[in-house]
Amino acid sequence: MEFALGRFYFHVRAGDEITLDEEGTELPDLSAAEDEAILAARELLAEAIKSGTPDVSEVLVIADEVGRPLSTVPLETVLPRFLKK
């Protein structure tokens, strides 16, 4: 059985600035896109910590092929519990 893949885009929003994902990723559904966004948010957070500039105010915005926002993943939600204020 074949699944129809959709292309999801993971834009990064920091305040008023948005960095657009120009390529997108093919995934089976929004749930898979949200899982992928959580992994990407953890990677962004890890890189920010390594560089000494952690900014947990950033948000990953999951958008569809026409640019419609479908879901968001704030970086602060992927922090381990013991690091949260």
Cα→Cα distances 79→10, 35, 37, 61, 66, Å: 19, 15, 14, 17, 30
Question: What is the percent of the chain where pLDDT is above 70?
Answer: 86
User: What number is the average pLDDT over the span 50-60?
Assistant: 81
pLDDT exceeds 80 at position 28: yes
Residue 74 lies in a domain: yes
pTM for the full model? 0.83
Mean residue pLDDT across the chain: 87
Residue 62 lies in a domain: yes
Q: Does 14 or 80 have the greater pLDDT score?
A: 14
Residue 44 lies in a domain: yes
Q: Does 17 or 84 have the greater pLDDT score?
A: 17
How confident is residue 78, by pLDDT bands cut at 50, 70 and 90? Answer: confident
Interatomic CA distance for residues 25 and 36, integer angstroms: 9
Domain count, the chain: 1
Enumerate the H helices of the chain as residue ranges: 30-51
What residues make up the domain containing 71?
6-83
